[in-house]
Amino acid sequence: MAAPDLSTLYQFEKNWEDAAETFLESAVSIACYASASVEDFVTPRLAIEFATGAATLPVDAPITSVPALAAGEYRSHDAEFMVAIITDPTAGQTRANHFSYVGLTRVALLRSQDSWDSSTLPYYDLKFIRQTATMREVEGDFQITTLSYEIKFSIRDDAWPTS
């Protein structure tokens, strides 16, 4: 599916976070919020953030797009995807609850290939995902476990705007 314009195509963070919000909330059964959300702070919750990293030059045919793009247009990208699992023991959310959410989140992401499909992510193809780190902290009353994932993706051939 072609993006309506280049600006929409290059909104990597919004597009990936919107797709993840959809399937993670269902898989983990708690509220999921993308970065820069303005919703009320509730727990338990998943707070997600997608950050694009390095881009690589294509090794395939030039891209056909309007406006015309240079033959060296970047279409493959590295990214980091972070999910913070946040619970509040003072609200009755136990350590067991917290780590249950951590486990469900890992399962959902490590088996997520089918969740990042053309219906949830129409402009990109997921090429690779793996967990790279876990960070645990206590902030005030909150227990927080942040899972970090390396993602490699590419812009689909049919995603380039044509008008």
The pLDDT tens digits for 119-155 are 899 999 999 999 999 999 999 999 999 999 999 999 9
* Cβ-proximal residues to 114 (8 Å cutoff; 6+ apart), any chain: none
How far apart are alpha carbons 88 and 153 in whole angstroms? 34
Domains in the chain with CATH codes: 6-159 (3.30.2000.30)
For the record, the structure tokens of 129 come out as: 């995902």
The pLDDT tens digits for 47-82 are 999 999 988 766 555 555 555 565 556 788 999 999
From the list 95, 78, 76, 14, the residue with the least C-alpha distance to 48 is 14
119-145 burial code (b ≥16 CB/10 A, e <16): ebbebbbbeebeeeeeeeeeeeebbbb
